[in-house]
Amino acid sequence: MYYNDIMTVRPKMQIDVSNKVKARAKAVAADREITLAQLVLTGLSKVGDDKLAKLVKDEIENRTGRGRPANN
């Protein structure tokens, strides 16, 4: 697969949860008007590690909006 200089390949994380947990997490994220990824990142920021919390904060601030990225 060819990637040009503009596109970047970002690492992905997956977690194994039941359908009930996923459905509830999506509902909570929707209630807060954030994405499921933002909900998970917010949880990671609250484990008590200052460096991780700063990285997550920067990640959320620099994230693009929902959906597929636009090629402008």
Would you list the domain boundaries of the chain? 36-64
Average pLDDT over residues 1-18: 75
Residue 58 contacts residue 41 (beta carbons within 8 Å): no
Average pLDDT, the chain: 85
Is the confidence at residue 3, as pLDDT, over 70? no
Residues 53-72 pLDDT 10s: 999 999 988 876 666 656 55
Q: What is the pLDDT of residue 8?
A: 73
Residue 57 contacts residue 41 (beta carbons within 8 Å): no
Q: What is the pLDDT of residue 28?
A: 97
Nearest CA to 62 out of 28, 29, 38, 33 is that of: 38
Integer angstrom CA distances of residue 55 from 7, 21, 36, 51, 52: 22, 26, 18, 6, 5
